Amino acid sequence: MKNIVLFLVLIFCLGCTHKPAKINVAISLADSNHSVKIKGFDKAVIADIGRDTANGIWQSLLPVYKMPADTDMKDYQNAQPGNYRVADSVVVFTPDTPFRKGQVYFLRFYQHTEGVNAWQYIKDKKRPGSLSYTDLTFKY
């Protein structure tokens, strides 16, 4: 019985130390600066999400926003409407209205792999349900 309890504790501890690989997302302008290429994802993951034909799923995962003049207000911006398409392991976003020259935009990438266990939430002082994100800026 003692060995079984020790084995279960060991398995539990190993589960706590597993840390998923961090995704390094990179963006670049494409199609004569009319679109944004979003790279850095696993090809299998992109293909799986790409089977969902709803454009809204991509906008909720990789929203693109126009940077406001007051950057403190960027959390209150509406996402740019547009079309997302998948090409191999790259997601390409083309806005409904062309990017404006001189305007700064940003892509908000949510780190869904961070803080997947209770210890990570305690260590980072996060609240359950909160997601960390990275804003990647670009200028047309």
Domains of the chain: 20-139 (2.60.40)
* Spatial separation of the C-alpha atoms in residues 30 and 127, rounded to whole Å: 37
Residue 115 scores a pLDDT above 50: no
Higher-pLDDT residue of 116, 53: 53
Average pLDDT, the chain: 78
Whole-number pLDDT of residue 14: 54
Q: Strand, helix or coil at 28? A: strand
The greatest distance separating any two alpha carbons of the chain, rounded to the nearest whole angstrom, comes to 70
23, two tokens = 């995704």
**91 secondary structure, DSSP code:** E
Residue range 56-79, pLDDT digits in tens: 788 888 999 999 999 999 999 999
Residue 100 scores a pLDDT above 70: yes
